[in-house]
Every structure is written in C-alpha cells, then in structure tokens.
Amino acid sequence: MAIQLIAIKGLPEVEPGADLAALICQAARAQATPLADRELLVVSQKIVSKAEGRLVDLSTVIPSPFAREIALEQKRDPRVVELILRESRRIVRMDKGLLIVETHHGFVCANAGVDLSNVGGGEVASLLPEDPDLSARKIREGIRARAGVEVGIIISDTFGRAWREGLVNVAIGVAGFRPLRSFLGMRDPQGYRLQATVQAIADELAAAADLLFGKLDRIPVAIVRGFPYEPGEGSVQELIRPPDRDLFR
C-alpha cells in the first residue's frame, strides 16, 4: 500500500474572482497528473482567500481605540490588530506580541489567520475564507463539472499548537469526506478494544501536503493519490473540539 503526494505546479498568480477549480484542473492536466475519482486535493488557504477576494487594503482600515491600545502594547500596526479583532469571536491569549484568538469559525490560531505575506505587494492583508467548507464544496463541484471526477477537498492553513514547537498544516475546510475516522468499538488483532479511537485524517492529510508546499516555491495545491477514504458529506466543524470535552486547552 502506497500513497502519493503530488505537487501541482504552474498555477498562475491567483486574482480575486479566479475560478480555482478550472485553474487546478488545467495545471494538473498540464503536468500530466490529471485528477481522478477518489483522489483528494489539499489547497492552501492563501489562494482560496485571494480567489474569494478576502483581501483588505490596509489604508482603508480605521482601528478602534481598543485595537490601537493593543497595537501600542504589542508594537504592531493598529490596522492589522483591528482586522484580527474583526475576525475574532474571542481572545484566547494576548502576550509577547502575539494574539491567539478564536475565529468566528471556531479555529484557535495566531492572528486569526490574518496574513501579510504572499499577498501581491503593497499594504494588503489577507483574511481566512468566510466559510471554508463552502469554499471547499465549490472547488469540489467545479472539479466535478470540469473534469467529471469526484474528489475530496481540504482547505488548509498552518497553525501553531499547544505544548509543541513549530507550525503544522491543518484542515480549515473540507468537502466530500468526513474529516474524522472512527475506530470506536473496534478491536485490534489481539482482541483488545482500541483506546485511541478517532483519527483526524483531514489534519493528517493537510500535514502531509505541507511537506510539498514549502514556503518559498509557491506550491499551493497537492494531490493525494491512493488514500482510501469514505466519500460523504463532511464539515470542518467536526474537527473543532467543544470546550467541555477539551482537557488539553
């Protein structure tokens, strides 16, 4: 059994309004790795946000007094802090020049995913997609319409974690499959009931794709070939742990 992770290269610079499904199908065909049924695609949040026009010209942002105060304390651009606050449901931690927040989607991450890098020059910030599951569904449907294949989609972003150093890529939107795989009630070869029973496959797929994404060479999409999964409806909300079940937070 083998899984292949294939980088999709040669995508043009993505502009607001771009048809990502069309660009991905085209680029995959051009490099002779056309998409096939039951494959999965991991798509970097950056190009989804760009295609959806989730870009804000910083010169149009008027920071609130609270944003100004935090910015002063953290030595940051108050307009960026303002955007972070607008994208947030709650501040989880605020220290050492960092804002860890819970976004409106329910993700806990640094700076609410507001990003200044890789966004076509100037003073422009990119925000996370408003509804990343919907973004994923649209790409999935676009690919079905254009290439006639059923694929699973993961929109991914790199997040920090508690307890451990370094960032890892995780799923922030999914379509076409369930992001968790459950082994509840199953037994191992010795007949023992399995203890570690729910595997976050969408996050593991996102992490795997990040091995290709790199940071400098602009690879924003990867094909996962050979990973058996159960097609179906899924939502990234399944990956968000309710506070009352979360002993790690």
**46 vs 138 by CB, closer to a copy of itself:** 46
The 131-160 site mask, x for binding a copy of itself (CB under 8 A), equals ---------------------------x-x
Query: Is 62 a residue that touches a copy of itself (CB under 8 A)?
Result: no
Closest alpha carbon to 83 in 104, 52, 114: 114
Q: Which range in 18-26, 65-73, 106-114, 125-133 contacts a copy of itself by CB under 8 A?
A: 106-114
Non-local CB neighbours of 64 within 8 Å, separated by 6+ positions: 82, 85
Non-local CB neighbours of 213 within 8 Å, separated by 6+ positions: 7, 44, 169, 219, 220, 222
**145 vs 231 by CB, closer to a copy of itself:** 231
Q: Which of 2, 17, 75, 230 binds a copy of itself (CB under 8 A)?
A: 2
Spatial separation of the C-alpha atoms in residues 108 and 116, rounded to whole Å: 19
Spatial separation of the C-alpha atoms in residues 113 and 158, rounded to whole Å: 9
Minimum CB distance to a copy of itself, residue 129 (Å): 17
Q: How many residues bind a copy of itself (CB under 8 A)?
A: 75
Q: Which of residues 182-241 bind a copy of itself (CB under 8 A)?
A: 183, 186, 188-196, 198-201, 203-205, 207-208, 210-212, 215-216, 218-219, 227, 238-241
**Long-range contact set of residues 59-67: C-beta below 8 Å, sequence gap at least 24:** 59/123
**9 vs 146 by CB, closer to a copy of itself:** 9
Q: Which range in 19-27, 66-74, 128-136, 168-176 contacts a copy of itself by CB under 8 A?
A: 168-176
Q: With beta carbons less than 8 A apart as the criterion, state whether 126 and 114 touch.
A: yes
Q: Which of residues 66-85 bind a copy of itself (CB under 8 A)?
A: none
Structure token pair of residue 100 = 């860890």
Non-local CB neighbours of 26 within 8 Å, separated by 6+ positions: none
| DSSP secondary structure of 17-47 | T--HHHHHHHHHHHTT----TT-EEEEEHHH
Minimum CB distance to a copy of itself, residue 232 (Å): 16
Minimum CB distance to a copy of itself, residue 145 (Å): 27
Minimum CB distance to a copy of itself, residue 236 (Å): 10
